[in-house]
A and B are shown apart, each in its own frame.
Chain A
């Protein structure tokens, strides 16, 4: 089946640093979504992308739908302690009614 490779698996950064993470797929996707999961909670939708090349921001978060339609990137600028958590990418190919999720990137911030 389809697989998403999300990297890095974990990140340890200082407060105030910028963060970048990405997701690549083995097939072309029509939708890319980025979620954040806090400990003990369900994933929360951050950004949704629907067109190749699309660049969308949500506050300090920016995500892009790769031109090849096989990848997506999430950037967080000027990280703060509440950014700590696990970030998941998810994708959907044409005709599918369900998402495929990446393994997650665990973000830890040192104050």
Chain B
């Protein structure tokens, strides 16, 4: 099992550009999550999904959108990138039974 994979690993965007961060898991987990981690800080939940076709907002959803068309994939979309979105983004998945979450390696995004 590859677990949770994220692409790209690094990206630099100009203000106003858009991009999609990809996340795929091969563990057949129903639950998937997107977090952002600012330097020296903990994890803040952006969006989450409890199954295909179901998404919900987390703590900091503004400026982001998600979709969940399959169990495996949970892409995160930034429509109009802003410097405040410079951060490291982590995707995670879990079975939902024990609420344990397993994280991907992260995408480091810089908006200038």
Contact = CB atoms under 8 A, between A and B. Distances in A.
Q: Do A and B bind each other?
A: yes
Interface of A: 1, 31, 33, 35, 40-45, 48, 50, 88, 90, 92, 97-99, 101-104
Interface in B32-61: 33, 41-43, 45, 48, 50, 56, 58-59
Contacts of B56: 97
A35 to B, nearest CB: 8
Contact of A31 (B99, B102, B105, B106): B99
A57 B99 CA distance: 19
Contact of B43 (A31, A45, A92, A101): A101
B33 A43 contact: no
Contact of A42 (B58, B59, B90, B98): B90
- Interface footprint category on B: 20 to 34
A41 B33 CA distance: 17
A90 B102 CA distance: 13
Interface string B81-105: 0000000001010001011111111
A97 B43 contact: no
Contacts of B102: 45
B74 interface: no
B105 A41 contact: yes
Given A42-B105, A88-B42, A98 B98 contact: no
Contacts, number: 51
Contacts of A50: 98
Nearest to A103: B42
Contact of A104 (B42, B58, B92, B106): B42
Contacts of A104: 41-42
A41 B104 CA distance: 8
Which residue, A31, A42, A92, A102, has most C-beta atoms of chain B within 10 A?
A42
Nearest to B101: A99
B103 A43 contact: yes
A45 B65 CA distance: 27
16 contacts: A33-B100, A35-B103, A40-B106, A41-B105, A42-B4, A42-B103, A42-B106, A45-B102, A88-B42, A92-B99, A97-B99, A99-B99, A99-B101, A102-B42, A103-B42, A104-B42
